[in-house]
Amino acid sequence: MTKFEELHKLKDLMEKDDSLPLKGVANKLVFGSGNTEAKILCIGEGPGRQEDIEGLPFVGQAGKLLDKLLLLAGVERKKVFITNVVHHRPPNNRDPLPDEISAYGKYLDQIIEIIKPKIIITLGRFSMNKFLPDVFISQAHGKSFKIGKIIVIPMYHPAASLRNGKILELEKMDFQNLKKILGKII
């Protein structure tokens, strides 16, 4: 089976899984999208309003910013795969709860296993904490961490940059710097 087929199979399983805690309160499953052969996997927090309507990750304002940030690193969005820590929208965009993160985590782990990325870019603290439970994003953003065979690079969540101009400046610098990091790895 190709990675594309494996991911589709996993998505079908997820669609049928009534145990997923946010399924009843969300509109659509936001499994993830992008290049199934990607070397870079981006992991956000959870779908927002627009993502819940369209069933696709990062299609709202934060997504538009993410597209521009990726371009600062010389990466077109169509080259990466993008998913989230939770795949249904939490009510009113609240933070995902620990039980929810672990319920969706088994699917996220399988997505990672199928894609086998060289690099994971985490967007925001919830996805960062999956790999780096004991660090603060204010200290870790933009740095590279080798976790097993994968290089994890924590970034601020684009929505945080939309709210705070200082974070936006830091995030732009991190993505510009990412271009150099990627040059050495890919």
Interacting residues toward ligand URA by CB under 6 A: 30, 44-48, 51, 57-58, 62, 84, 159
Least separation, in Å, of the C-beta of 1 and ligand URA?
26
Least separation, in Å, of the C-beta of 127 and ligand URA?
8
Least separation, in Å, of the C-beta of 62 and ligand URA?
4
- Which residue minimizes CB distance to ligand URA? 44
Q: Which is nearer to ligand URA, 97 or 186 (CB)?
A: 97
Q: Which is nearer to ligand URA, 66 or 182 (CB)?
A: 66
Q: Which is nearer to ligand URA, 25 or 186 (CB)?
A: 25
How far apart CA 113 and CA 117 sit, in angstroms, is: 8
Instruction: Confirm if 161 and 174 have CB atoms less than 8 A apart.
Output: no
- Determine if residue 148 is left, alpha or beta; phi over 0 gives left, psi from -120 to 50 gives alpha, anything else beta: left
Give the number of other CB atoms < 10 A from CB of residue 78: 11
How far apart CA 179 and CA 87 sit, in angstroms, is: 28
Least separation, in Å, of the C-beta of 5 and ligand URA?
23
Dihedral sign for Cα atoms in the order 145, 148, 149, 152:
negative
Q: Which is nearer to ligand URA, 34 or 57 (CB)?
A: 57
